[in-house]
């Protein structure tokens, strides 16, 4: 009887499966050894952030209680040699179950010694912020932020964000100043009815300067932020001051910061702003309604390096106070202009237009004074002596412009329709 013979094609097909599996494993091994995963992850991140991304090695993967962990080493974002972000080690953990359902939800992100440079190109123009992880941990971070030609450095920054709670501590420095900072509070994790609060304390190693801010009623709508009230107090230039701001808002699409009302008070001075709007795009324009009251304007001016004419001691109080109100606009920080000005210096009222430039310092003015009595500003003279001379302007006085005086009185003399041209 003939023996049954098996189908050789079936055995050949079964023999190909191990060969194919072995070939696939070999291809994956070669792909791994050729740094293929590093290249793919770098390309994916580059497309997401719009910047060149580099990795020092292939990403590492691990599983921990249903979470997928990814470790990136030597992450660099941005152009050489001064990238926007450099992280020696970045670890991310996300829910594997949600990932299999097509949802990317970061549970935990930690970074060792990240170095960040800002602002990033196009920052502030996005329509929404990415979902925040449940926990964010930065150890020994360094931040360099340049705005309006000045650079702020944050060093030795340790930050922990967990379930809406925020705690950060570090050192700050700017040209000529440095100190410590502490930030703590809770933030809304998503858009909606959640309300957050923050407290920021900044101390300076120079003198006794300090600042303490309290932010209340913080809400988030995508990338937009709204703050009901900001309260602050501090010490600067040997003066205590108090700060109150209401109705603050940040609009990400237009990169604009706005405030309904703000007021700064210190001993002998007060500054108020209404409908303040500040554009953080490269033009850095701003506009607001300004109200200012300074009890001793000469003392304040000297603190900022602005020298005023020398008046007799008995006549200096005639310059007090200075009151000013008008529409303020310009480009931060060097070019300010003020229109529809209404003001008072001592008992003298004036109106017109002011323009201030900081680099170099120069004040252009076009003012109209209905009536000016010079006697309160000059030392008293007896009837037998000649009238007191007018004060001499400093040789390097950074003021120029035109002043029109309707009626000018000077120790028995009266003139009308006086026009003064002030030239540097």
Mean pLDDT value of segment 312-323? 72
Instruction: Provide the pLDDT for residue 128.
Output: 45
More confident residue, 371 or 236: 371
Mean pLDDT value of segment 136-158? 90
**pLDDT higher than threshold 60 for residue 13:** no
Q: Are 131 and 154 in contact (CB under 8 A)?
A: no
Mean pLDDT value of segment 141-161? 89
More confident residue, 238 or 8: 238
Of the candidates 122, 133, 136, the one whose C-alpha atom is nearest the C-alpha of residue 51 is: 122
**pLDDT higher than threshold 80 for residue 105:** no
Name, in order, each residue with C-beta under 8 angstroms of 134's C-beta and a sequence gap of 6 or more: 106, 107, 108, 162, 163
The model's confidence at residue 35, banded by pLDDT at 50, 70 and 90, is low
The model's confidence at residue 349, banded by pLDDT at 50, 70 and 90, is very high
Mean pLDDT value of segment 352-360? 86
Least confidently predicted of 99-103, 129-133, 212-216, 344-348: 129-133
Q: Are 108 and 92 in contact (CB under 8 A)?
A: yes
Rg of the chain's alpha carbons, rounded to an integer?
33
Least confidently predicted of 126-130, 144-148, 287-291, 347-351: 126-130
Instruction: Provide the pLDDT for residue 324.
Output: 93
**pLDDT higher than threshold 80 for residue 284:** no
Instruction: Provide the pLDDT for residue 81.
Output: 82
C-alpha distances out from residue 143 to 85, 140, 420, Å: 9, 10, 51
The model's confidence at residue 305, banded by pLDDT at 50, 70 and 90, is low
The model's confidence at residue 327, banded by pLDDT at 50, 70 and 90, is very high
More confident residue, 423 or 248: 248
**pLDDT higher than threshold 70 for residue 276:** yes
More confident residue, 273 or 298: 273
Instruction: Provide the pLDDT for residue 318.
Output: 73
The model's confidence at residue 245, banded by pLDDT at 50, 70 and 90, is very high
Least confidently predicted of 27-41, 172-186, 240-254: 27-41
Burial of 18 (0-12, 13-18, 19+ CB in 10 A): exposed
Mean pLDDT value of segment 96-108? 76
**pLDDT higher than threshold 90 for residue 386:** no
* Residue 170, both tokens: 């570090």
Residues 23, 25, 30, 35: is their CA dihedral positive or negative? positive
The model's confidence at residue 126, banded by pLDDT at 50, 70 and 90, is very low
**pLDDT higher than threshold 70 for residue 95:** yes
Instruction: Provide the pLDDT for residue 67.
Output: 83
Mean pLDDT value of segment 176-182? 90
Instruction: Provide the pLDDT for residue 155.
Output: 95
């Amino acid at each position: 009887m003939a023996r049954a013979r098996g189908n050789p094609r079936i055995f050949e097909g079964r023999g190909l499966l191990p060969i194919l599996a072995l070939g696939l494993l070999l291809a994956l091994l070669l792909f791994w050894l050729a740094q293929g995963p590093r290249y793919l992850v770098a390309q994916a991140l580059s497309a997401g952030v719009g910047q060149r991304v580099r990795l020092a090695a292939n990403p590492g993967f691990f599983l921990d209680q249903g979470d997928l962990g990814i470790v990136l080493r030597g992450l660099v974002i941005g152009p050489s040699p001064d990238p926007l972000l450099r992280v020696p080690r970045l670890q991310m953990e996300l829910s594997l179950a949600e990932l299999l359902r097509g949802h990317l939800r970061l549970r935990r992100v930690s970074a060792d010694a990240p170095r960040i440079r800002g602002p990033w190109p196009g920052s502030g123009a996005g329509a929404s912020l990415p979902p925040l992880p449940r926990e964010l941990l930065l150890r020994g971070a360094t931040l360099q932020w340049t705005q309006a030609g000045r650079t702020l450095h944050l060093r030795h920054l340790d930050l922990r964000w967990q379930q809406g709670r925020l705690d950060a501590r570090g050192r700050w420095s700017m040209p000529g100043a440095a100190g410590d900072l502490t930030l703590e509070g809770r933030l809304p994790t998503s858009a909606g009815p959640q309300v957050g609060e923050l407290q920021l304390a900044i101390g300076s190693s120079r003198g006794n300067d300090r600042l303490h801010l309290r932010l209340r009623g913080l809400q988030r709508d995508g990338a937009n932020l709204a703050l009901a009230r900001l309260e602050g107090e501090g010490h600067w230039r040997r003066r205590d001051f108090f700060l109150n701001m209401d109705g603050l808002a940040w609009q990400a699409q237009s990169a604009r910061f706005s405030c309904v009302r703000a007021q700064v008070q210190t001993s002998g001075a007060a500054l108020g702003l209404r409908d303040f709007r500040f554009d953080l795009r490269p033009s850095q324009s701003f506009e607001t309604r300004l109200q200012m009251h300074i009890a001793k304007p000469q003392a304040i001016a000297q603190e900022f390096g602005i020298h005023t004419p020398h008046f007799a001691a008995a006549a200096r109080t005639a310059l007090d106070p200075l009151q000013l109100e008008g529409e303020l606009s310009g480009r931060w920080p060097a070019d300010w202009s003020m229109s529809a000005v209404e003001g008072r210096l001592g008992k003298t009222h004036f109106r017109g237009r002011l323009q201030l430039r900081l680099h170099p310092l120069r004040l252009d003015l076009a003012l109209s004074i209905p009536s000016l009595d010079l006697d309160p500003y000059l030392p008293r003279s007896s009837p037998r002596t000649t009238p007191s001379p007018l004060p001499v302007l400093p040789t390097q006085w950074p003021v120029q412009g035109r002043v029109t005086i309707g009626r000018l009185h000077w120790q028995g003399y009266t003139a009308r329709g006086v026009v003064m041209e002030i030239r540097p």
